[in-house]
């Protein structure tokens, strides 16, 4: 890797011009003056991304009730196979297109697809296969867009910066995720599900502009020198369509991250099945179901924001990344035990809320830090496979496991016992993964 270019003469004047921004941000996050603009743009980009995402998420969940609650396992199966197809396509495009074109291109694709589904919903609002198509499309694309965003973050900031800055950047998602459900709840009765799609499309158009801004900030940080990733975005990542799978299977560290993802999704899917079943029985019309899902999203994201702003950075600083990785499965052991003691609607909703808060605020942010110590190709290719195919493999296997338990007539308490065992295994994997990260981080520091 060639040495970084000398800092441009404009650096000092830029720092002075944005001193006010550093003063504002430093009240919430430990940020250096030269990092302030990059962190602010990343926060806003993540905010808009999740505001648009959480407008579409209740629509996706509502489409699952149109297709049929008893068919959830088939929706999960279709999602997995579509993810399997999309992963090599993404890798092929990354091998041909410069990263600076690939990254915003993903969000342009979101805009085009949303407009297409708007037309379909307007002409066939209750069609089961349109509902299934939207569910499959969004369940794959939501993982891709989040993966792309965080890949750019791990390709911009180093591991030392990530510990300070990632909780704050992740708080942007929680803030946006609070706005999204509010927009859904307020406007779904006025503009309908189709209108919500157009609002989300406008959000993704704004994200395209923000991604370009983040890429410029990455280049500026690299020119500044000091503590920043040395990689550039002015090139493609050559390789065959299955290069991401090869990088995954050849790295014990990446395989550990895959195991972490599968076990995390098993617990989430177990609770999703119960939540969808209960909501579909409680509400009959689409608007009411959409509002019900949006209400849960709002409460979850308020709690997530509080954890990210007031708790995670201090926890990671004091106890380290390994402890933050282990924390979520330990909490889920307690939450599942609560369902076993009192298998009620309130307890299931509570456990589902706890699962999502800990996953979004703690597990997701902590695991993203792990990708700061690997090479650029693995970030863009192997990480994408983990974030999409492996994630949906976890969903798929958990969905059919849940279906099998129902077919065998196994009651909720034994099923929760399985979930507790999975959480315990997840905690062990998290511990080993954290230790591997620390070794890689020490090796990177020596180099």
Question: For residue 48, which of 215, 198, 172 has the smallest C-alpha distance?
Answer: 172
- In contact, 327 and 358? CB cutoff 8 Å: yes
Read off the DSSP letter of residue 242.
T
Domain count of the fold of the chain: 1
Question: Greater confidence, 419 or 88?
Answer: 88
Determine which of 59-63, 72-76, 411-415 has the lowest per-residue pLDDT on average: 411-415
Contacts of 170 (CB under 8 A, 6+ apart): 46, 308, 312, 360, 361, 364, 365, 368
Determine which of 12-21, 161-170, 372-381, 435-444 has the lowest per-residue pLDDT on average: 12-21
Residue 188 lies in a domain: yes
Per-residue confidence (pLDDT) for residue 22, from 0 to 100: 85
Per-residue confidence (pLDDT) for residue 2, from 0 to 100: 40
Contacts of 347 (CB under 8 A, 6+ apart): 338, 339
Q: Decide: helix, strand or coil at residue 290.
A: helix
Q: Which two tokens stand for residue 115?
A: 């407009």
Rounded to two decimals, the pTM is: 0.83
Q: pLDDT for 392-422, tens place per residue?
A: 898 888 878 777 777 776 666 677 888 899 9
Q: Mean pLDDT for the chain?
A: 84
- In contact, 359 and 304? CB cutoff 8 Å: no
- Measured on CA atoms in the order 63, 69, 74, 77, is the torsion positive or negative? positive
Question: For residue 183, which of 155, 161, 166, 202 has the smallest C-alpha distance?
Answer: 202
Read off the DSSP letter of residue 359.
I
428 confidence band (pLDDT: 50, 70, 90) = very high
Residue 21 lies in a domain: no
Domain that holds residue 351: 29-441
Per-residue confidence (pLDDT) for residue 90, from 0 to 100: 93
Task: Report helix angle 36-67 to 286-307, nearest 10.
Answer: 150
Q: pLDDT for 187-201, tens place per residue?
A: 877 888 788 899 999
Question: For residue 86, which of 375, 390, 394 has the smallest C-alpha distance?
Answer: 390
User: Tokens 């011009």 belong to which residue?
Assistant: 17
Residue 5 lies in a domain: no
Average pLDDT over every residue of 65-72: 66
Task: Report helix angle 345-358 to 252-282, nearest 10.
Answer: 150
Widest pairwise Cα distance in the chain = 71
Cβ count near 444 (within 10 Å): 13
Task: Report the alpha-carbon distance of residue 351 to residue 221 in Å, rounded.
Answer: 41
Per-residue confidence (pLDDT) for residue 6, from 0 to 100: 44
Residue 257 lies in a domain: yes
Question: Greater confidence, 156 or 194?
Answer: 156
Task: Report the alpha-carbon distance of residue 98 to residue 120 in Å, rounded.
Answer: 33
Q: Which two tokens stand for residue 109?
A: 């694709």
Residue 154 lies in a domain: yes
Cβ count near 319 (within 10 Å): 12
Q: pLDDT for 224-270, tens place per residue?
A: 766 678 899 999 999 889 999 999 999 999 999 999 999 998 888 77
Per-residue confidence (pLDDT) for residue 3, from 0 to 100: 43
Residues in the chain: 447
Contacts of 324 (CB under 8 A, 6+ apart): 312, 315, 316, 362, 365, 366
Catalogue the long-range contacts made by 229-235 (C-beta closer than 8 Å, 24 or more residues apart): 229/154, 229/155, 229/156, 229/157, 229/158, 229/372, 230/1, 230/4, 231/155, 231/376, 233/98, 233/99, 233/100, 233/103, 233/155, 234/98, 234/99, 234/100, 235/98, 235/99
Q: How many helices (H) and strands (E) does the chain have?
A: 18, 0
Average pLDDT over every residue of 18-33: 84
Q: Is the pLDDT of residue 182 over 70?
A: yes
Per-residue confidence (pLDDT) for residue 297, from 0 to 100: 64
Residue 168 lies in a domain: yes
**Burial readout 63-102 (b: 16 or more C-beta within 10 A, e: otherwise):** bbbbbeeeebbebbbbbbebbbebbbebbebbbeeebbeb
156 confidence band (pLDDT: 50, 70, 90) = very high
Instruction: State the alpha helices, DSSP H only, in 97-156.
Output: 99-123, 128-154
Question: Greater confidence, 146 or 276?
Answer: 146
Determine which of 107-116, 287-296, 351-360 has the lowest per-residue pLDDT on average: 287-296
Determine which of 168-172, 208-212, 272-276 has the lowest per-residue pLDDT on average: 272-276
Per-residue confidence (pLDDT) for residue 432, from 0 to 100: 95
Residue 254 lies in a domain: yes
Q: Is the pLDDT of residue 287 over 80?
A: no
Of 50-54, 128-132, 149-153, 359-363, the range with the highest mean pLDDT is 149-153
Contacts of 270 (CB under 8 A, 6+ apart): 398, 402, 415, 419
Residue 51 lies in a domain: yes
What is the residue-wise DSSP string for 172-222?
Answer: HHHHHHHHHHHHHHHHHHHHHHHHHHHHHHHHHHHHHHHHHHHHHHHHHHH
CATH of the domain at 181: 1.20.1250.20
- In contact, 416 and 339? CB cutoff 8 Å: yes
């Amino acid at each position: 890797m060639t040495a970084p270019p000398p800092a441009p003469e404009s650096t000092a004047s830029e720092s002075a011009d944005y001193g006010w921004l550093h003063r504002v941000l430093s009240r919430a996050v430990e940020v250096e003056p030269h990092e302030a603009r990059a962190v602010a743009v990343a926060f806003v980009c993540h905010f808009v991304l999740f505001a648009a995402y959480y407008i579409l998420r209740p629509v996706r969940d509502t489409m699952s009730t149109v297709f049929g609650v008893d068919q959830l396992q088939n929706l999960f199966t279709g999602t997995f196979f579509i993810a399997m197809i999309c992963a090599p396509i993404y890798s092929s495009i990354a091998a041909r297109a410069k990263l600076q074109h690939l990254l915003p291109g993903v969000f342009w694709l979101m805009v085009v697809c949303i407009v297409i589904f708007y037309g379909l919903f307007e002409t066939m609002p209750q069609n089961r296969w349109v509902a299934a198509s939207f569910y499959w499309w969004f369940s794959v694309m939501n993982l891709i867009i989040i993966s792309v965003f965080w890949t750019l973050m791990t390709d911009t900031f180093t591991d030392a910066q990530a510990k300070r800055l990632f909780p704050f950047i992740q708080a942007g998602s929680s803030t946006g995720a609070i706005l999204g459900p509010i927009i859904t709840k307020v406007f779904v009765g006025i503009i309908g599900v189709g209108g919500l799609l157009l609002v989300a499309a406008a959000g993704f158009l704004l994200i395209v502009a923000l991604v370009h801004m983040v890429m410029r900030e990455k280049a500026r940080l690299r020119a500044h020198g000091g503590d920043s990733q040395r990689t550039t975005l002015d090139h493609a990542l050559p390789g065959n369509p299955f290069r991401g799978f090869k990088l995954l299977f050849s790295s014990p560290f990446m395989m550990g991250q895959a195991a972490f993802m599968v076990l995390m999704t098993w617990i989430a899917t177990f609770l999703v099945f119960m939540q969808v079943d209960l909501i579909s029985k409680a509400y009959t019309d689409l608007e009411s179901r959409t509002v019900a899902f949006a209400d849960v999203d709002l409460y979850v994201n308020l709690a997530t924001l509080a954890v990210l702003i007031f708790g995670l950075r201090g926890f990671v600083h004091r106890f380290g990344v390994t402890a933050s990785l282990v924390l979520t499965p330990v909490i889920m052991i307690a939450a599942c035990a609560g369902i076993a003691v009192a298998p009620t609607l309130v307890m299931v909703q509570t456990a589902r809320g706890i699962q999502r808060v800990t996953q979004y605020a703690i597990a997701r942010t902590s695991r993203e830090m792990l990708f700061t110590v690997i090479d650029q190709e693995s970030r863009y290719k192997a990480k994408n496979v983990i974030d999409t195919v492996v994630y949906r493999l976890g969903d798929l296997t958990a969905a059919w496991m849940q279906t099998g338990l129902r077919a065998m007539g196994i009651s909720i308490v034994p099923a929760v016992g399985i979930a507790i065992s999975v959480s315990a295994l997840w905690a062990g994997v998290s511990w080993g993964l954290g230790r591997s990260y620390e070794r890689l981080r020490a090796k990177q520091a020596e180099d």
